[in-house]
Amino acid sequence: MPLVKQGRLTTDLFVHVADGAELPGDGAVLVTAERFLADPEALLRRGGKVGVIWPNNRNLDDLVPHLDRLASVALVFPTFRDGRAYSQARLLRERYGYDGELRATGQILRDQFVFMTRAGFDAFEVKKDADADAFAQTMKRYSVFYQPTGDGRVTALNRRMQLRHSESAGQ
């Protein structure tokens, strides 16, 4: 599956390790929340980077204490109509200050890229090659945003007020 990271098609350095499967000796791994929480210390002591796949119906409380030692958090969209992970993403970025990789997994289409980026995702396991190829193009679709999120894009309302301010300052 193509991975888009920081706007570009990238080789995925993380290996998805299924529950019960043996961990590779080194290298980056993505493990399930159950596996991670069963023994976080053992996993984090390993040589390689660790990422956790966090289900969209689980409260973030158990994940939060480990955030600063995780290299990736992967949130799940079982179907693209299930939008719970958007809230989790914003909470991780905006409330808990997580600044590592935030990965979207599941049914990811180009039509979600803008929403996901605005919610804080920066890595995307994209379902279709054509959508992955269209990432940069798709991100240019919108230039106006009505609501503030942690992504720092200036809202329409703020742009208007800035404009008004600069107009009145120029008089």
Partner 1 sequence: MYAYDELDRTLINERVSEFRDQVKRRLSGELTEDEFKILRLQNGVYLQLHAYMFRVAIPYGTLSSKQLRRLAHVARRYDRGYGHFTTRQNIQFNWIKLAELPDALSDLAEVGIHAMQTSGNNMRNVTSDQWAGVAPGEIEDPRIWSELIRQHTTLHPEFSFLPRKFKIAITAAEHDRAAIKIHDIGLRLHKNADGETGFEVLVGGGLGRTPFIAKTIKPFVPGRDILSYIEAILRVYNQYGRRDNIYKARIKILVHELGIEKFAKEVEEEWKAMGDVGLTLDHTAIEEVRSRFSYPAYEKLPHMPDELKQAAHDKLFERWRKNSVSAHKVQGYSIVTLSLKPVGGPPGDATAEQMDAVADLADKYSFGEIRVGHEQNLALPHVAKRDLPLLFKALDRLGLATPNVNLVTDIIACPGLDYCSLANARSIPIAQELTRRFANHDTADLIGRLHINISGCINACGHHHVGHIGILGVEKNGEEFYQITIGGRADENAQLGTLIGPAVPYAEVADVIEDIVEAYLALRDRPEELFVDTVKRLGVEPIRERVYATR
Which residues does residue 5 pair with via DSSP β-bridges, in sequence order?
8, 123
Whole-number Å distance between alpha carbons of 138 and 17? 31
Which residues does residue 50 pair with via DSSP β-bridges, in sequence order?
29
Q: Please identify, using beta-carbon distances, which residue of 44 and 156 lies nearer to partner 1.
A: 156
69 binds partner 1 (CB under 8 A): no
- Alpha-carbon Rg for the chain, nearest whole angstrom, is 18
Whole-number Å distance between alpha carbons of 152 and 67? 22
114 binds partner 1 (CB under 8 A): yes
Asked if residue 92 lies in contact with residue 102, where contact means CB atoms within 8 angstroms, the answer is yes
Q: Please identify, using beta-carbon distances, which residue of 28 and 104 lies nearer to partner 1.
A: 104
147 binds partner 1 (CB under 8 A): yes
157 binds partner 1 (CB under 8 A): yes
Question: Closest separation between CB of residue 141 and partner 1, Å?
Answer: 5
Instruction: Give the binding site for partner 1 (CB under 8 A).
Output: 80-84, 86-88, 90, 94-95, 109, 111, 114-116, 118-119, 128, 130, 141-149, 155-157, 159-161, 164
